[in-house]
Structure 1
Amino acid sequence: MNGTITVIDKGAVRLHSYMAPDDSVNVTTQLIETPSRVVVVDAQFVRGYADEVAAYARGLGKPLDRVIITHAHPDHFGGANRFGAPVHALAVVRDQIAALDDGQDPTGAPILTAEVTPAVVIEPGTEVIDGVPFVFEAHTGGEAADELVIKLPEQGVLVAQDLVYHDIHLFLGNNDIAGWRKAIERLAGEAGYDTILVGHGTPAGPEVFGEVSRYLADAEELLGDDGDAYKAAIVDRYPGYGGRFVIDIANRYLFGAGHA
């Protein structure tokens, strides 16, 4: 297997967290295995990795109930049509994806917008899926303009996806550090969640909120008007973090196409 799988047993629910390799920015798909179904959260970027995690999910021997897309970044929805299950998202996220041009994954394989646009709208609130309460919350500001957070209160699981990274450099291309820090403060104030599922990296505990908050504070301090200088400074401060390519992608948004 190219990706890395972390399995966490939560009684009636088992979590299977699939992190892609570095060449797909360590993006993470969550498989939430309930007693008789599997709920997929985010769908990878590289088609081959989406196929790999989809095959793993089918190997659990339970039907794939749905694919939930948390936000409109292609590294999370590019493989949505590879799972053979209905694709769900917040209405605003659906509309943002539908408005995008066709693209391609890092291997050059096409991502056709019409094939990956979610068809089922998620309404914020609580939905019981296979006897398990899922709490859907809409968040604005931060890594993306709009993001879905999912909570499983009975299992103490908070699916933060791209509002939280774990030991991976953050994508700052949305240019909203202040909004991101506010979102982290809100999530950190939630009691009763001991397992945090992240959008890039492996699962973590609540301490990850402090780690992301510190990184954002450091980024705010170091982010000047030179992308190359910023990358050198943030890598020097976080030398053990993966996903340095994420900085390069963000710098194109922050400083222009001349930054690789």
Structure 2
Amino acid sequence: MHGTVTVVDKGAVRVHSYMSPADSLNVTTQLIETPARVIAVDAQYALAYADEVVSYAKGLGKPLDRLIVTHAHPDHFQGAGRFGVPVHALAAVREQIAAQGDAQDPTGVVIPVADVTPTVEIVPGAEVIDGVPFVFEAVSGGEAADELVIKLPEQGVLVAQDLVYHAVHLFLGNNDIAGWQRAVEQLAADSSYDTILPGHGLPAGPEVYEDLRHYLADARELLGDDGEAYKKAILERYPSYGAPFLIDIGNQYLFGARNP
């Protein structure tokens, strides 16, 4: 296996957190194992790593029930067609994915948008799945225009996905650092969750919020009108963080061809 799996045991629920290698931005898929099924959250960018996730999920010996896509960034939905189950998402996320059209795997394989567009709408609120309460919350602004946060209150598990990165450089292409800071403060204000599952990086505890606060504050200070200067400065402050290519991708959105 090329990815890294971390298992968080919460009794009736076990979370298998699959983080892809650095060449695929350390993007993380969560496999939430309930007593009788498995629920996947986010689908990887590269089809090869999506296939690894699906193979691992099948090895758990329980049916894969659904795939939940939290937001409309390709690194979280391009592998959706490999899961072979209904794809669930917020209505806004579904529309944003459909609007992007066909895509391409890193190997050059075309990914038809029809294969990855969610078909089941998630309405914010509570739902009991296999006896386990799930709470679905919509967040606007921050890392993406619209994101889904999933809470498992009985287990103290918060599936934050791309509102939280753990020891991985942040993608700032949505150009909303202030919105991201507000979202982090809202998540951090609820102390009932001791396990935080990020969209890039390994599972963490609530201490990850302080790391995010520092990084976002530094990014706000350093991000001027020169993407290469920003990249140099943020790498100097966070030399141990993974997936520096995320900075380059963000710079393409913020500055265009001037800072490829």
CA-to-aligned-CA distance 1:62-83 (integer Å, 9 cap, x gap): 0011000000001000000101
- Structure 2 distance, partners of 1:121, 1:132, is 20
CA-to-aligned-CA distance 1:204-239 (integer Å, 9 cap, x gap): 000101111110000000001111110000000000
1:105, distance to aligned residue in structure 2 (A): 2.4
- Structure 2 distance, partners of 1:73, 1:104, is 13
- Structure 2 distance, partners of 1:51, 1:162, is 21
Superposition pairs for residues 185-200 of structure 1, below 5 Å?
Answer: 185-200=185-200
Structure-2 residue corresponding to 1:17: 17
Structure-2 residue corresponding to 1:60: 60
Moved more, 59-68 or 106-115: 106-115
Structure-2 residue corresponding to 1:143: 143
Match status 1:44 vs 2:36: no
Partner letter of residue 134 of structure 1?
Answer: F
User: Would the aligned equivalents of 1:168 and 1:201 in 2 still touch at CA under 8 Å?
Assistant: yes
Stretches of structure 1 that go unaligned for 5 or more consecutive residues are none
Partner letter of residue 196 of structure 1?
Answer: I
CA-to-aligned-CA distance 1:105-143 (integer Å, 9 cap, x gap): 223222211110000000100000000000000000000
Structure-1 residue corresponding to 2:247: 247
- Structure 1 distance, partners of 2:191, 2:172, is 27
Structure-1 residue corresponding to 2:223: 223
Stretches of structure 2 that go unaligned for 5 or more consecutive residues are none
Structure-2 residue corresponding to 1:130: 130
Superposition pairs for residues 37-186 of structure 1, below 5 Å?
Answer: 37-186=37-186
- Structure 2 distance, partners of 1:257, 1:17, is 35
Partner letter of residue 71 of structure 2?
Answer: H
Partner letter of residue 52 of structure 1?
Answer: E
User: Would the aligned equivalents of 2:226 and 2:259 in 1 still touch at CA under 8 Å?
Assistant: no
- Structure 1 distance, partners of 2:121, 2:142, is 22
Moved more, 185-194 or 99-108: 99-108
User: Would the aligned equivalents of 1:43 and 1:80 in 2 still touch at CA under 8 Å?
Assistant: yes
User: Would the aligned equivalents of 1:24 and 1:106 in 2 still touch at CA under 8 Å?
Assistant: no
CA-to-aligned-CA distance 1:42-64 (integer Å, 9 cap, x gap): 00000000001100001100001
Q: Indicate the SS of the match to 1:163.
A: strand
- Structure 1 distance, partners of 2:235, 2:115, is 37
Partner letter of residue 97 of structure 1?
Answer: I
1:157, distance to aligned residue in structure 2 (A): 0.1
- Structure 2 distance, partners of 1:121, 1:236, is 42
1:104, distance to aligned residue in structure 2 (A): 1.1
State, as a whole percentage, how many aligned pairs show the same letter: 73
Q: Indicate the SS of the match to 2:187.
A: helix
Structure-1 residue corresponding to 2:201: 201
User: Would the aligned equivalents of 1:41 and 1:70 in 2 still touch at CA under 8 Å?
Assistant: yes
- Structure 2 distance, partners of 1:115, 1:175, is 29
Report the TM-score when normalising by structure 1.
0.99
Partner letter of residue 145 of structure 1?
Answer: A
